[in-house]
Amino acid sequence: MIELKPLKLDDRDQFIKDNQEAFNYGALEEFGMRDNHFEEDEQIISRETIEKSIDGGEAYRILNDGKPVGGVILKVDGDKGNLDILFTSPKAHSKGIGYAAWCEVEKMHPEVKIWETVTPYFEKRNIHFYVNRCGFHIVEFFNSHHPDPNDPDIAEQIDEQFPDGMFRFEKRMTET
């Protein structure tokens, strides 16, 4: 049984640590210990980045049978939604938890007509998940020659942290 529960203040620190563990797992799985994609002190995603995302959006804990197994952070503005962060614990991978959580997000926000998200080029699991499981389409590839025009600050991050780029995904919702 998958549920999304609003993030509680007393769980914020653990949520951030769990998020960092999940993101590090993907990078270390791809690159091993030679990874140089860290934002700060051995973290693929910095505490500051996660905190900004939490503070600027809606943060939820993903619960499986009442136990925390991940999290999701969304930004919704009218009929547009941005999936800032979705993560599951590495111990919970390949059990359908991420997909079930995404289905809950869609149910929570039927007003959203277009969802967007991004992921680094090397996150093959994420690319598979968004395209093959959730129905997103790759619509753009941000890199040093084509930075995100809506987020000029990310251009520097792409050059430094993800020199090989980031994919932007979009999911257009259909009327049912």
Q: Can you give the pLDDT at residue 163?
A: 56
Alpha carbon separation from 106 to 74, 84, 85, 148, 158 (Å, rounded): 11, 14, 15, 25, 29
Domain count, the chain: 1
Amino acid at 107: K
- In the block, tokens 């809606």 appear at 58
Amino acid at 154: I
The whole-angstrom separation of Cα 124 and Cα 21 is 17
DSSP character string of 71-126: EEEEEEETTEEEEEEEEE-GGGTTSSHHHHHHHHHHHH-TT-SEEEEEEETT-HHH
Q: Can you give the pLDDT at residue 53?
A: 94
Q: In this model, does residue 33 exceed pLDDT 60? A: no
**Opening angle at CA 117, ends 74 and 65, nearest 5:** 50
- In the block, tokens 């136990």 appear at 67
Domain that holds residue 91: 2-172
116-143 per-position pLDDT tens digit = 998 887 788 889 999 999 999 998 876 6
41-84 per-position pLDDT tens digit = 566 678 888 999 999 999 999 999 999 999 999 999 999 999 99
Q: Kindly report the CATH number assigned to the domain that includes residue 57.
A: 3.40.630.30
Task: Indicate the Cα dihedral angle 112, 148, 154, 79, nearest 10°.
Answer: -10
Q: Can you give the pLDDT at residue 35?
A: 43
The whole-angstrom separation of Cα 116 and Cα 57 is 14
Long-range contacts of 127-133 (CB under 8 A, 24+ apart): 127/167, 129/98, 129/99, 130/169, 131/169, 133/98, 133/99, 133/102
Report which of 89, 88, 54 is spatially closest to residue 73, judged by C-alpha positions: 54
73-114 per-position pLDDT tens digit = 999 999 999 999 999 998 888 899 999 999 999 999 999 999
The whole-angstrom separation of Cα 59 and Cα 69 is 14
Q: Can you give the pLDDT at residue 168?
A: 87
